[in-house]
Amino acid sequence: MRDVAIVAFAQTDHLRRTDELSEVEMLMPVLHQVLDATGLRARDIGFTCSGSSDYLAGRAFSFTMALDGVGAHPPISESHVEMDGAWALYEAWVKIQTGEADTALVYSYGKSSPGEVRDVLTRQLDPYYVGPLWPDSVALAALQTQALIDAGDTDEAALAAIATRSRAAAADNPHARIAGPVPAGEYVVQPLRTGDCPPVGDGAAAVILAAGDSARALCPRPAWIRGIDHRIEAHSLGVRELTESPSTRLAAEHAGVFERPVDTAELHAPFTSQEVVLRKALGLDGSVTVNPSGGALAANPVMAAGLIRLGEAAARIHRGESDRALAHATSGPCLQQNLVAVLEGESAHA
Amino acid sequence: MPDVLSAPLVVEFPFTRSLGPVQSAFLTGLRERTVLGVRTGDGKVLVPPVEYDPVTAEELRELTEVATTGTVTTWAWNPAPRRDQPLVTPFAWVLVKLDGADTALLHVLDAPGPEAVNTGMRVRIRWAPQRTGAITDIACFEPYEGEATAESTAHSGEFADPVTGIVTPARLDYTYTPGRAQSAYLNALSERRTVGERCPSCRKVYVPPRGACPTCGIATAEQVEVGPRGTVTTYCIVNIKAKNAMNDAIEVPYVYAHIALDGADLALHGRIGGIPYDQVRMGLRVEPVWTEGGRHPDHYRPTGEPDADYDAYKELL
């Protein structure tokens, strides 16, 4: 296996609407930030991979427009996943493992403002038995929440505390969409209140990956990817035990999470109750700093929020605030798919 | 940004899907008020049924009929139903384990309020009066007093006139905003001007501008007026009539061309009119034709100038 690290990370400020910006216009500043941070030019990048979803924009092949922002002519080596950018990062990591590239630019973006994201996300559901009922993303998360409450794993007060802690942490995150005290609010779909739900908004993120000595040359303290894995569960909600996340647990085992303690965990939990499930699956206790960025409860640009978890964890290692961090990304209803990575700073091995 | 445009954008599609043997039996069964599950290798009954075991991936074909009554395994109260959801009055989303099944089905429960719903409550199917072989043949669940049973009886899955496909309509509503660069382009077009943007690095002028230079990967900003005349760089002859009403008046065959407007470093698309389709050629000089009130050129027609020299546009092919 090659040593691969995240050497740069950038994200936009996350805003409710960005009407004045096309997707490529929203994306370009973060692409330039990660290139500037490493001193690389677009043509120096060995592989480019992006994540986004046409359903957010309502336009087919919308990612091809965004390619203008990476200088795709003359032709570059490029790929795209119709998923969160965390999975684009995984593909880029694999590409570097093959030896076909030493550096990779990974980016993702989502503009939720043009449509109704709760309705849009119903289109990822089984189209035979579930999609025709239009169960929106909050409704499905609420079913999972009630199952957790019935199981005694949490209650509404504990969920409100997760929301409060996350948004208090986001006060230190200049990019966050909502930070500071936020009222618990009314029920959106009971038992979830507005405060338990992520903000809707637009945003983008980018990271640069590099292998071995390239990484050391580009970044004073690279965030080495010591393990990364992703797993998926059955799509039928009624088959799954919604209070557990065996896919997260399995991905974490394969990524090596349990070999040594982590000091930081960036969890992609758009709903408060999902943090409860993830903490249990990952065995996180009070010694671990969870979501110091505020997490997806503070900013949830769909398709970028998972990549941002990897980026935030890496940035803490770059800054020397973490030696061993866990980053998690999710996709699909009720934590259906989960990706887990372990990132380390060099001194942890010294 | 007062000049940023926005417009409603509706994406609507009736996906036509074929059904496999298990899905066909299940949905046909719903039409006949019969709920079918499928039995796995270890004896579990999955409802709704799937064709492959979610744990072992083993093919599943052994159908079994379960009850139309069941138990709520989890629920969530929806105070504000959204468009296309099964009920228009507030309802509960429920996962229901039907009697005889080992897994739960997602649907909705008609109940007066959240205080009337709890995990473990007994419910039964309320059938839709008109049934077509779809999950919505179950109109909803309703509260039901009656003990749970474990009834499950083998079923052939055979019905007269089986449903073999479904149409799943979907509609999503958006407000589309094209961003700064394209808004400027569209606003200029409405004044019968065509503006591109010049890359500050390679100096190329892109029309229509999208705000970025695809070669340099940097923002373009400097607006440059181009045209109105241009050169056909390449073209095709369209022989199939467009289906949408907007293009109804356009007779086939017609020519669709790449047109390099004077001053632009990228060719844009346009229809060529005012000349027989078989006389259009590379190098033809054209100009835009606007219709009354049109926000963009309707088509381009020959200017009558001599054809452009190949060398003048070969880089734009």
pLDDT score at B104? 98
Residue of B nearest to A59 (CA): B11
- The DSSP output letter for A12 is P
pLDDT score at B294? 86
A42-46, A320-324, B37-41, range with the lowest pLDDT: A42-46
pLDDT score at B209? 93
Which residues of B are less than 8 Å from A69 in CB distance?
Answer: 212, 217
Q: Which two tokens stand for residue B292?
A: 């009354």
Of B307, B1, B290, B36, the C-alpha closest to B154 is B36
Q: Which residues are CB-contacts of A266 (< 8 A; sequence separation ≥ 6)?
A: A291, A292, A293, A295, A309, A310, A312, A313, A325, A326, A327, A328
Q: How confident is the model at residue A350 (pLDDT cuts 50, 70, 90)?
A: very low
Region B12-23 average pLDDT:
93
Residue percentage of chain B with pLDDT more than 70: 99
Q: What's the pLDDT tens digit per position in A128-175?
A: 999 999 999 999 999 999 999 999 999 999 999 999 999 999 999 999
- Phi, psi dihedrals of residue B164, rounded to the nearest 5°: -115, -5
B141 and A94 Cβ atoms separated by less than 8 Å: no
Q: Which residues pair with B38 in a beta bridge?
A: B46, B63
Region A69-85 average pLDDT:
93
Residue B212 contacts A where some CB pair is shorter than 8 Å: yes
Which residues of A are less than 8 Å from B47 in CB distance?
Answer: 238
Q: Which amino acid, residue A283?
A: G
In whole angstroms, what is the distance from residue B169 CA to residue B14 CA? 4
The angle formed by the CA atoms of residues B4, B5 and B10, to the nearest 5 degrees, is 140
Of B276, B237, B284, B279, the C-alpha closest to B260 is B284
Residue B166 contacts A where some CB pair is shorter than 8 Å: yes
pLDDT score at B2? 53
Region B218-228 average pLDDT:
93
Which residues of B are less than 8 Å from A128 in CB distance?
Answer: 17, 19, 23, 27, 135, 166, 168
> Among partner residues A22, A130, A236, which is closest to B179 by beta-carbon distance?
A22
Complex ipTM above 0.90?
Answer: yes
Of A84, A87, A105, A85, the C-alpha closest to A96 is A105
Q: Do A68 and B173 touch (CB under 8 A)?
A: no
Q: What's the pLDDT tens digit per position in B81-135?
A: 999 999 999 999 999 999 999 999 999 999 999 999 999 999 999 999 999 999 9
Q: How far apart are the first and last CA of chain A?
A: 20
Of A256, A25, A235, the C-alpha closest to B106 is A235
pLDDT score at B253? 94
Residue A127 contacts B where some CB pair is shorter than 8 Å: yes
Q: Which amino acid, residue A126?
A: D
Region A93-111 average pLDDT:
97
Residue percentage of chain B with pLDDT more than 90: 84
Q: Which two tokens stand for residue A43?
A: 């043509």
Q: How confident is the model at residue A306 (pLDDT cuts 50, 70, 90)?
A: very high
Region A4-16 average pLDDT:
97
In whole angstroms, what is the distance from residue B107 CA to residue A164 CA? 32
Q: Do A22 and B4 touch (CB under 8 A)?
A: no
pLDDT score at A349? 47
pLDDT score at A241? 95
> Among partner residues A22, A143, A190, which is closest to B181 by beta-carbon distance?
A22
Q: What's the pLDDT tens digit per position in B31-85?
A: 999 999 999 999 999 999 999 999 899 999 999 999 999 999 999 999 999 999 9
- The DSSP output letter for A67 is G
Q: Which two tokens stand for residue B236?
A: 């095709």
> Among partner residues B4, B114, B178, which is closest to A190 by beta-carbon distance?
B114
B62-66, B160-164, B174-178, range with the lowest pLDDT: B174-178
Q: What is the pTM of this model?
A: 0.94
Residue A64 contacts B where some CB pair is shorter than 8 Å: no
Q: Which of A67, A145, A146 to probe the B interface (max B CBs under 10 A)?
A: A146
pLDDT score at B144? 97
Q: What's the pLDDT tens digit per position in B292-316?
A: 888 889 999 999 999 999 999 999 8
pLDDT score at A90? 98
pLDDT score at A219? 97
Residue B134 contacts A where some CB pair is shorter than 8 Å: yes
